[in-house]
Structure 1
């Protein structure tokens, strides 16, 4: 039995679309480890599946749930967010021009530059928050794909998705949005005109720091989508059955986790916005943030659980403050139940565009009073 489509996304997520495993009517979904499937005597496949590399039943429920939450035609799971992004980018024609944001996930940015250097694509970069500049770049370059990441990691600029999609549509430019940070809880890019949504499902979708996974969702079935699907099948970039099961389990608590993290992040941003020990708080939920109006229009119900503090005193003061934190854990990643902190410039290394005084905070679901107190003592 499947839940009625009229139910709210919160309910669909909590019940995993209401799927019940047969024949025992299990509430918890089963794990499907089979790698291959039996043929009938006439050579046909009565179960409709040939081989699990691209037809595993382990993916069915998680993919269907994510497609429903994003309002998309179909979703695909991958073994990482990078695998999802590369499957889509490699589905473009050789030499295709890609327009990407200056502030974005550093590993993907470096990979785009590497692909461009090899001649596989031609990449150009735009300023995330400059809608007029982005429109001019689209007019001048007419790229095959526009990549958007909003709010942008780790400086949290905001890109107007609807305006960007409207400008891109004039030239038949495809639009893909990395929606890892807002998730479908806060933003649904396909409804704003995007063609594809990408998630590092390791982060909020899973939400427990125990799975590395990625996902793509399409607005409609197109040749580009079919090539991305084929890239997964032929390239073998598939998720294991237990990881798919853990991801689905995490997605069932997505809505309360994201809402709690968003509320706590806003409280932290307000607490330190005028603190003299902090040079700047970067969070689109603050009215003082340059992208607040756009964020308020395209992020419904909160502004996300990610923010950054630029520590007064510069790089040394920021690193020292991170070292004094006791509740926040010093670790890479984001979007889980525990709060994390990173000095991103150190992590990204030479060539990082991240300010050296910046600490990136991923706010979890702990008591916000404990998180604020921890930051307060760490700042000295």
Structure 2
């Protein structure tokens, strides 16, 4: 049964820490500019893939204090900063809320990969006595949600979703269920990822997932372009504060947009390749639209997964064209941010919220020669303004995970 208005969930707060900047406004302006964040990465110097998209100017000591700067892994630090921003943006005060009614759902895939690699080297070179007692707690993916809950006193359910690059969207959908069933009144939902390590990127490169346009990193991520050859790996965190719409309006909160629909599916096809006909993501998208009570002809904008890999963009693009036709203005913000892996679905949901709220669709960076095999209205060159009543954000992940979100104007 499609939800009525009373079942809609309000997005009352956003927090973004991405290669596009620290903070919502800095992010939005960079995404609207269509300028890629990809640069040379000194930690990858001498390797075939020596560029990435890192969060610029991120100082955990300044933003979080000394404890966090040495005891917490970077993916947790990013999540903490984003969650604090989102809570403040929502006009909420953790000192006064009922923490038993507040939940945290954050996505993550690779946990503290940097710490694990570092401590593995320590074990081999110096023996077990020199391994850090913080190894396990810095490595465990659940610590993103755990530390956010500790930080803001959220004593409701606290958990991490791990559906690869669909993790952030899955987290928002899981948060929706906690609110709809009455388990929570407020949920911090999103994802974080920071795994730009030599080993992880070597593995992605060997899979053929990463772009090889190393001569000009800023032009490497080319979603939906005929010359795309892979993504640029990135780090980020994005957090959305979700409440039931009636509750948010009763407290006078500013509602940025509404989450009206969500659905997930599995390809049950291949470990890394999407179904060749896009059946899984099509199933998720159609179910999310039905959940929202929205027709396929009503979608104005799509923030596509758009990884800039040859297979994903073709399969996803054909699926979007088949389901939605040529009406929606489509974008992939990965041209700017790179692929933030588990965090992608969260930050792209946030960008879709901003597109709905402000009536602007960001351009797809580096789209110079649209793939003729993809029949979509992909926004390129500059941002496009216009009324957006309904937006969709699609996410796909290794393992055949798919998720789709439907967002509408408040």
TM-score (norm. length: structure 1): 0.27
TM-score by length of 2: 0.26
Query: Which has the larger share of strand?
Result: 2
Higher relative contact order (CA 8 A, sep 6+): 2
For the pair shown, the structure with the greater C-alpha radius of gyration is 1
